[in-house]
Amino acid sequence: MELLQRALSQGEAPDPAALVAAIPYCRHLGIDAEVKDGKLVLVMPFVTHLIGNPILPAIHGGVIGSLLETAALAQIIWETRSVRLPKPVDITIDYLRSGRTLTSYAKARIAKQGRRVINVHAEMWQDDESKPIAALRGHFLISA
């Protein structure tokens, strides 16, 4: 991506908000990225088209998974300053409770980095970070 190459040539981490804004599906979901206290946090304000179960109402599980995967990818790119998009090898998502009609947040951390594969853990929460809605564990290929 041009955005990643430009940041690397300037010797800095890519702008997380610009990175997320460059992805059409992230724009559709309304995801934004910001750095708080040195940590990358994704923010997804609630909008009605995110509802998967109108009876509860609850955010669609695919939207939750997308937010978590995006958090993991953004963290890898931001922390490693990669110019190539990581490729998911495997991802496991634990759905812990229903996502309510509130703004959602997600952040990720690199648990282990090898030469070719990175292991990432991510969590999504809404009003209380200590009560996650869902968690992701995944492996991403960073070099072919």
> Span 103-124, mean pLDDT?
97
The more confident residue out of 81 and 42 is 42
The answer to whether the CB of 14 falls within 8 A of the CB of 81 is yes
Domain count, the chain: 1
Rounded to two decimals, what is the model's pTM?
Answer: 0.90
- Please list, residue by residue across 88-127, b when 16 or more beta carbons sit within 10 angstroms of its beta carbon and e when fewer do: eeebebeeeebbebeebbbbbeeeeeeeeebbbbbbbbbe
What confidence score (pLDDT) does residue 132 get? Answer: 97
CATH number of the domain residue 57 falls in:
3.10.129.10
Q: Enumerate the H helices of 1-144 as residue ranges.
A: 2-9, 16-21, 24-29, 61-80
Domain limits for position 79: 2-141
> Span 100-123, mean pLDDT?
96
Please report which confidence band the pLDDT of residue 7 belongs to, taking 50, 70 and 90 as the band edges: low
